[in-house]
Amino acid sequence: MNRYLPTPSPNPPMDAVPFWDWCRKRELRFQQCGACGRHRHPPAPVCRFCGSDQVKWDPAPDEAELFSYTIVHNAVTEALKSYVPYNIAVVGFPSLQVRLISNIIDMPPSSLRIGMPLRLTWQECDDGTPLPLFLGEKS
């Protein structure tokens, strides 16, 4: 499969290293506070709700939806010129109340709709790290 966009290898801050370790196993997981149980993303060293530093990594649910998106029409670098227009999507996981920035890779911009159901898929970065991307549920 061709890549949706050219993708350099992730160079995550320390708090996000476990997120990418799970991605290398093709498992999308989010931090869950070990004290209050709330989920958070992007990864952070302490819970913004209760201040606890206890954390576990909870698998993402199958249910995701398009919370918001933008369509990029002007390539910011030469490397992206052949990819426009492309989307940048905010994918919501309502049951966890977390959101993830990603792309919807199988639909033209005119088909994207806020609230549409999405399904997780993976494409590899330059170093082979699987990147979590999404497919739109066609209706």
Judged by CB under 5 A, the residue of 23, 28, 47, 133 near Zn ion is 47
- Decide the pairing of beta strands 29-33 and 39-40: antiparallel
Contacts of 97 (CB under 8 A, 6+ apart): 38, 39
Judged by CB under 5 A, the residue of 52, 70, 97, 111 near Zn ion is 52
Considering the complex, state which of residue 32 and residue 103 has its C-beta at the smaller distance from Zn ion: 32
List the beta strands (DSSP E) in the chain.
29-33, 39-40, 55-59, 64-72, 86-93, 98-102, 117-124, 130-136
Site residue total, Zn ion (CB under 5 A) = 7
Q: Verify binding: residue 36, Zn ion, rule CB under 5 A.
A: yes
Q: Which stretch binds Zn ion (CB under 5 A): 16-24, 26-34, 71-79, 89-97?
A: 26-34
Q: Which stretch binds Zn ion (CB under 5 A): 20-28, 50-58, 77-85, 104-112?
A: 50-58
As to burial, measured by CB atoms within 10 angstroms (0-12 exposed, 13-18 middle, 19+ buried), residue 64 is buried
Shortest CB 22 distance to Zn ion, Å: 20
Chain contacts with Zn ion (rule: CB under 5 A): 33, 35-36, 47, 49-50, 52
